[in-house]
Amino acid sequence: MAVLFSLKKAVLGIGATSAIINILALTGSFFMLQVYDRVIPGRSLPTLVGLGIIAATLYAFQGILELVRSMLLVRVGLSVDERFGETVYDSLVLFPSRMQMPGDGLQSVRDMDTVRGFLSGPGPTALFDIPWMPFYLGLCFFFHVWIGMTALAGALMLVGLTILAEQKSREPAKEAAKIASERTALAEATRRNSEAVLAMGFGRLLGKKWDEINRRYLNNHLHASNVTGTLGTLSKILRMMLQSAVLAVGAVLVIRQEASGGIMIASSILVSRALAPVELAIGQWKGFAAARNSWSRLLQLSQLMPADGREVSLPEPTGLLKAESLHLAAPGSKSAILRGVSFELKAGDAVGVIGPSASGKSSLARGLVGLWQPLAGAVRLDGASLSQWDPTALGRHIGYLPQDVSLFGGSIAENIARFDPDASSDKIIAAAKAAGVYDMIVQFPEGFDMKIGEQGSTLSGGQRQRIALARALYGDPFLVVLDEPNSNLDAEGEAALSRAIFGVRSRGGIAVVIAHRPSALAAVDTVMVLANGQMQAFGPKEEVLKKTTQAAQSPSPPVRLTIAGEGAAQ
């Protein structure tokens, strides 16, 4: 409603312009009325010239106002884009970690484009002109009651076709958006995984799935187009028949000397003008239905977004990371992956998190950086839960290297600096040196200015991982969470990783390292063992690893380990 209210002035301006346009649209009817009833009987050429000048002037003003109205509608479309643009982009960042996103997750972007495209086209003009239909019909009744009755009958039939168009297009429009999302998601997934598809030869199998989705999409498009096309053709034929019917009724009235020839011609033109917006609306109804559904989804999206800003800005964290009986589940799920995890780390600590696959290690990483909201419990920095922080402010204090490394199209420097336009060269170089990639980067022909392509496609897996590590270390964040940071690294890269973790500890930060390979634990002092979504052990690295190894080698079933380290719980 706030967005609608903010557009009130623009809508009122378009409405006022439409009012003048519809009044000026009477020019043709009254010109013909004067020609047949005044010029021809009086055989007056000066009168005809005068009427022609007046009509031409009015037509010129009408054309100018039509242009102004179309330009206003384009600006209204852009205004909606400006108002929703930030919300839509923020949702792309926030919602994948909050809920399960249907399709490719880009429906909100398409919705914004759909609304803007409809508002910038001819469709809205019909909506502004239709309210003037009673005014035109009233003039028909003013000319003669039977002319008015004929025009009213035609108008009712066209309105009935409009209602039918609404009923027939509502569900196809919703289904079209759903299928289009599935289609785009499959296309994007195929493009992203093209190497695997080509190497393993299952492109034809995916092609069958594509054909099935594409067939549904085309059938839906064909059905919607057939409905709109059929009703549009009927409305056009009905309007032409009605125009001829008005002429016929006018001719009867002229023969019976109840109307003049000018009224007969003027009425025909007037009826055509009165019903033209309805015909246009039926032709544009498919776009209107899609824009209406998109608008509704955008309003729902804006309501789901959290409130901006915080009244109090919390100070920079410097001392403590604490998890309190943390329960985590995947976005949109209530089934906990991680249950009852509690621990405490102080400045300078580094913990390695180990455990079998599907034990909840990556889930813990996402919970610690605030990506996943806890089902229960909390993650706290210096006593304040992550929910108390503004997301942008919190991000400056967190470095995160996800398991699936992904970089953005742009330069190496932009990726390391997290695309901060005000980033200084000193901070970028410091992050690169902290991650041990400075020497590697300067070996490239363009150094830090090298363009790495979409998702870092010009780099190897190890190079992407090391640059992503530099991004995580940019700005010396207090909490650094690294998920499988050595999965693509060679010995040199692993040595650089250990130095980076030691660097975090030495400056008073906290490091959390998710690892499968023991080499990633060289720089940590504490180890946590996860299994089946629960913490099995937490304590000094040597003690935990020793007892975990003994338990693994024991012929008896492994027992649950709980080592009371400093701040350990459970």
DSSP, residue by residue, 252-278? HHHHTTSS-HHHHHHHHHHHHHHHHHH
Please give the mean pLDDT across all residues of the chain.
Answer: 82
Q: What integer pLDDT is reported at residue 212 of this predicted model?
A: 85
Q: Which residue shows structure tokens 């693509």?
A: 488
**Edge-to-edge order in the sheet of strand 320-329:** 336-346, 320-329, 376-381, 384-385
**Interval 488-498 mean pLDDT:** 86
Asked whether 504 and 470 are in contact (CB, 8 A), the reply is no
Tell me if 183 is assigned to some domain: yes
Question: Please, where are the H alpha helices in 437-561?
Answer: 438-442, 461-473, 491-506, 541-553
More confident residue, 291 or 231: 291
Degrees (nearest 5) of the Cα angle 322, 326, 327?
A: 165
Q: 219 is in which domain, residue-wise? A: 2-304
Q: Which residue shows structure tokens 């759909």?
A: 114
Tell me if 361 is assigned to some domain: no
Provide the pLDDT confidence category of residue 3 given band limits of 50, 70 and 90.
Answer: very low
Strands of 252-391, DSSP E: 320-329, 336-346, 350-354, 376-381, 384-385
In tens, the pLDDT along 384-394 reads 888 888 877 88
| Buried-exposed string 331-349: b where 16+ CB fall within 10 A, e elsewhere | eeeeebbbbbbbbbbebeb
- CATH number of the domain encompassing residue 261: 1.20.1560.10
Among 533, 534, 529, smallest CA distance to 550 is for 529
Domain count, the chain: 1
Q: Distance (Å, rounded) from C-alpha 483 to C-alpha 493?
A: 15
Provide the pLDDT confidence category of residue 309 given band limits of 50, 70 and 90.
Answer: low
Tell me if 11 is assigned to some domain: yes
Decide: helix, strand or coil at residue 323.
strand
Q: What integer pLDDT is reported at residue 116 of this predicted model?
A: 84
Decide: helix, strand or coil at residue 361.
helix
Tell me if 153 is assigned to some domain: yes
Q: Distance (Å, rounded) from C-alpha 231 to C-alpha 212?
A: 29
Residue 117 burial by Cβ neighbours in a 10 Å radius (0-12, 13-18, 19+):
middle
> What are the φ/ψ torsions at residue 371 (nearest 5 degrees)?
-70, -45
> What are the φ/ψ torsions at residue 342 (nearest 5 degrees)?
-135, 135
Tell me if 197 is assigned to some domain: yes
**Interval 231-247 mean pLDDT:** 80
